[in-house]
Amino acid sequence: MIATMGEALVDLIEQPDGRFEACLGGSVCNFTIGLARQGVSTRYLNPLSEDHFGQCFATLLQDTGVGLAQAARSGCPTALAVVSLDGQGAPTYAFHRQGVADRDISAARFIAGFPQQMELLHTGGLALVPEDIEKTLATIRAAVGHGALVSIDANMRPMVVRDLGAYAEGVKRALAQAHIVKVSNEDLDALGIDSASLERIGAALFAHSAVELIVFTRGAGGAALLTRARA
């Protein structure tokens, strides 16, 4: 059983005619659905909103076979990400994440929602922002205490924070407690880690950490897997 912790948000994507199309998303929520569609037993730990979008998420997750840890809905709204296009068609993002449903939870409630046979906890993305990092770290520590592995997809979004230094420090603390880490070259830039060579990436992320496997992506440059034994 894999438990997941992180954002479920609605992407409002601008269309060529100026309209906005609503799409259910969020990196952790998408990851959860992907696992369930492959027949993996999954449980989503965050609460969903009692609003219309929250009901859409609940239906999608349950129809896909995802278990919901939080039966009670949050009175807070579903988070939004507005995706606008410039004259060349390049996207810009505006996140609306204050007082939203997936953040309406404490570490104690996350931990209470753990499935009994949890083998892995996955998190990352917006769960790592400075305002939420302490409860995320507490939940990670509890998962390790339950004997579970931890995977983290950094998937950093510098545009959602005011203090990039505090954000980077929190992400580094989280990555150090994970067993499996996924980072992109953009993530490493935000973290101040040299991505010029795989050896340097391994030296930075394996040192003084629990990390055993690193998944490194670099857009059109492809991807690489690094293991501690081969670092």
Residue-level pLDDT, tens digit, the chain, 231 residues: 999 999 999 999 998 888 999 999 999 999 999 999 999 999 999 999 999 999 999 999 999 999 999 989 999 999 999 999 877 777 888 999 999 999 999 999 999 999 999 999 999 999 999 999 999 999 999 999 999 999 999 999 999 999 999 999 999 999 999 999 999 999 999 999 999 899 999 999 999 999 999 999 998 889 999 999 865
- Helix 164-177 × helix 133-145 angle, to 10°: 0
The rounded distance, in Å, linking the Cα atoms of 223 and 93 is: 25
Assign 27 to helix, strand or coil: helix
Overall CATH class of domain 2-178: alpha beta
- Calpha distance 41→26 (Å, rounded): 19
> Angle at CA 198, nearest 5°, toward 192 and 202?
70
Q: Residue 94: which H helix or E strand, with range?
A: strand 91-96
User: Can you give the residue ranges of every domain in the chain?
Assistant: 2-178
Measured in degrees and rounded to the nearest 5, phi and psi for residue 44 equal -95, 125
